[in-house]
């Protein structure tokens, strides 16, 4: 390094080491060995299995959680490729991708 420059070394405290090794949210894939759905996501998948015609509002009411929470769950499930919506918001239906 020349004059006017300096170098900085960062130390990661062991308590935060795990956090630095976490994958960014958009890089988690359902094929990763560490991949797990949370409880509400599993409930949404199970409800969709029983009735693929649920709307997001109906899912929120059935689970007793907010509409915003359901939107986040559905968005995450779509992002990782577990579900998809066919048709419109009101008259469409859910498809569980890769289900047997």
Residue 70: CATH number of its domain:
1.10.10.10
Q: How many CA atoms lie within 13 A of 41 on its CB side?
A: 17
Confirm whether 13 is domain-assigned. no
Do 60 and 43 contact (CB within 8 A), yes or no? Answer: no
Q: CA nearest 54: which of 90, 87, 80?
A: 90
Average pLDDT score over residue span 3-25 = 59
Confirm whether 72 is domain-assigned. yes
Q: What is the pLDDT of residues 50-92, one digit of tens each?
A: 999 999 999 999 999 999 999 999 999 998 889 999 998 888 9
Confirm whether 79 is domain-assigned. yes
Confirm whether 8 is domain-assigned. no
Strand residue runs (E) in the chain: 83-86, 93-96
Q: Identify the domain containing residue 35 by its residue range.
A: 25-96
Residue 31 DSSP symbol: T
């Amino acid at each position: 390094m020349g004059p006017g420059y300096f170098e900085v070394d960062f130390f990661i405290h062991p308590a935060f080491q795990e956090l630095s090794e976490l994958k960014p949210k958009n890089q988690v894939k359902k094929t990763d060995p560490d991949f797990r759905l949370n409880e509400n996501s599993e409930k949404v998948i199970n409800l969709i299995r029983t009735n693929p015609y649920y709307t997001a509002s109906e899912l929120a009411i059935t689970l007793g959680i907010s509409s915003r929470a359901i939107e986040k769950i559905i968005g995450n499930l779509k992002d990782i490729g577990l579900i998809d919506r066919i048709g419109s918001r009101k008259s469409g239906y859910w498809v569980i991708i890769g289900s047997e």
